[in-house]
């Protein structure tokens, strides 16, 4: 049997945004008010505490010898508990990146009006094992001059503004 236009056309009714917003069809609104308080455990707990101190800490697997960031209590590949804590540098290289013209809600930024595009990337952190990257933003750089393997360094918030969060690093900027 073939699935034809005639068959599918009666399965769904197209609505435009105007018909919904203009009240032509009735709708129900519900904003879920859900709150969570996540237990982070020892590994991420220490990671955050060290960020507050202006340092980045990793954890080492004694089996595969990977130095892993973000730190974790067990190595997901060897499946054994991890060993020592290792401070890594706050410098690294750009593994890959983008130039974002929309925000996280898919709302368009006013680029023509002078708003800088959002430039997140994966930063491979120096001192961690090869390929160990974290997600962060790139700053103090022309978005169109960012390139693969560009050397970058963390720009920290002043100590009194740090809260023990990944945002204690404002962004990574190119090193000369």
- Chain positions 29 to 68 lying near other proteins, rule: CB under 8 A, are 29-30, 32-44, 47-48, 68
From other proteins, Zn ion, none, which one binds at residue 49 (CB under 5 to 8 Å depending on kind)?
Answer: none
Binding of other proteins by 22 (CB under 8 A)? no
Task: Show Cβ contacts of residue 141 under 8 Å, excluding neighbours closer than 6 positions.
Answer: 119, 173, 174
CB of 35 to other proteins, least distance (A): 4
What residues line the site for Zn ion (CB under 5 A)? 61, 63-64, 75, 78
- Residue 167 burial (10 A CB sphere; 0-12, 13-18, 19+): middle
From Zn ion, other proteins, none, which one binds at residue 20 (CB under 5 to 8 Å depending on kind)?
Answer: other proteins
- 136-142-146 Cα angle (round to 5): 60
**Cα→Cα distances 100→9, 115, 116, 135, 169, Å:** 37, 11, 9, 14, 20
Specify the stretch interacting with other proteins by CB under 8 A; choose among 56-64, 85-93, 96-104, 154-162. Answer: 96-104
- Residue tagged 């220490």 (tokens): 46
From other proteins, Zn ion, none, which one binds at residue 61 (CB under 5 to 8 Å depending on kind)?
Answer: Zn ion
Query: x/- contact string, 136-155, with other proteins (CB under 8 A)?
Result: xx----------x-------
Instruction: Quote the tokens at residue 2.
Output: 């073939």
CB of 142 to other proteins, least distance (A): 13
CB of 15 to other proteins, least distance (A): 4
Q: How far is CA 80 from the centre of its chain?
A: 26
Question: Is residue 103 within 8 Å of 118, Cβ to Cβ?
Answer: yes
């Amino acid at each position: 049997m073939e699935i034809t236009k005639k068959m599918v056309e009666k399965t769904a009714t197209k609505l435009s945004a105007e018909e919904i917003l203009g009240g032509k069809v009735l709708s129900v609104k519900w904003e879920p008010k859900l709150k969570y308080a996540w237990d982070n455990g020892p590994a991420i707990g220490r990671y955050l505490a060290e960020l507050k101190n202006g340092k980045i800490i990793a954890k080492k697997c004694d089996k595969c010898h990977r130095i892993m960031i973000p730190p974790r209590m067990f190595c997901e590949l060897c499946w054994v508990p991890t060993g020592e804590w290792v401070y890594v540098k706050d410098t690294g290289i750009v593994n890959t990146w983008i130039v974002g013209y929309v925000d996280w809600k898919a709302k368009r930024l006013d680029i023509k009006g002078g708003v800088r595009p959002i430039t997140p990337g994966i930063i491979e952190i120096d001192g961690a094992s090869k390929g160990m990257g974290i997600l962060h933003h790139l700053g103090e750089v022309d978005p169109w001059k960012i390139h693969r393997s560009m050397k970058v360094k963390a720009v920290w918030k002043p100590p009194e503004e740090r809260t023990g969060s990944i945002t204690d690093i404002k962004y990574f900027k190119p090193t000369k």
